[in-house]
């Protein structure tokens, strides 16, 4: 019998004073298939020429003129990432949000650049846990029409 596919992923954070020695603890598990590799990649801080475009999985977007150093965890086929942390102490992890909200079939920059080909009656959207040394925020992104703080 084949193993059950993963159905969810979770993020967590502990901020001071809830963690020892004034540390921020951030974690995330992945709901990707068990045989899929998760790469951990380091990208140094970089300056980019003005007007440069960035090629994502499905679309191009304007490239920021300066990017901070970042460590990302992602499947190798994915332009985006499941989680990461930059050199300014900001961490982010994404979560699947299963809703009945329809997905816009047009081109878009996806939460983690996942393929939107799920025959199930539920739609895949994203929420994000954003963390720095002082606070943690949850951003819910549903169909480009809602966001909560």
The residues that are catalytic are 9
Structure tokens given for 20: 């020892």
> What are the backbone angles phi and psi of residue 22, rounded to the nearest 5°?
65, 30
Nearest Cα residue to 127 out of 117, 140, 118, 115: 140
Whether residue 51 has a cis bond before it, omega within 30° of 0: no
Q: Tell me how far apart the alpha carbons of residues 99 and 124 are, in angstroms, rounded to a whole number.
A: 7
**91 with 131: CB under 8 angstroms?**
yes
Q: Tell me how far apart the alpha carbons of residues 99 and 81 are, in angstroms, rounded to a whole number.
A: 22
């Amino acid at each position: 019998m084949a193993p059950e596919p993963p159905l969810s992923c979770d993020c967590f954070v502990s901020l001071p004073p809830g963690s020892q020695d004034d540390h921020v603890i951030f974690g995330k598990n992945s709901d990707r298939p068990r045989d899929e590799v998760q790469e951990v990649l380091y990208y140094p801080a970089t300056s980019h020429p003005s007007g440069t475009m960035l090629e994502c999985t499905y679309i191009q977007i304007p490239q920021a003129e300066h990017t901070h150093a970042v460590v990302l965890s992602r499947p190798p086929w994915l332009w985006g990432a499941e989680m990461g942390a930059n050199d300014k102490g900001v961490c982010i992890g994404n979560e699947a949000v299963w809703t009945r909200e329809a997905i816009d079939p047009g081109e878009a920059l996806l939460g983690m650049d996942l393929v939107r080909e799920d025959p199930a009656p539920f739609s895949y959207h994203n929420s994000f846990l954003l963390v720095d040394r002082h606070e943690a925020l949850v951003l819910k992104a549903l169909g480009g029409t809602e966001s909560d703080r």
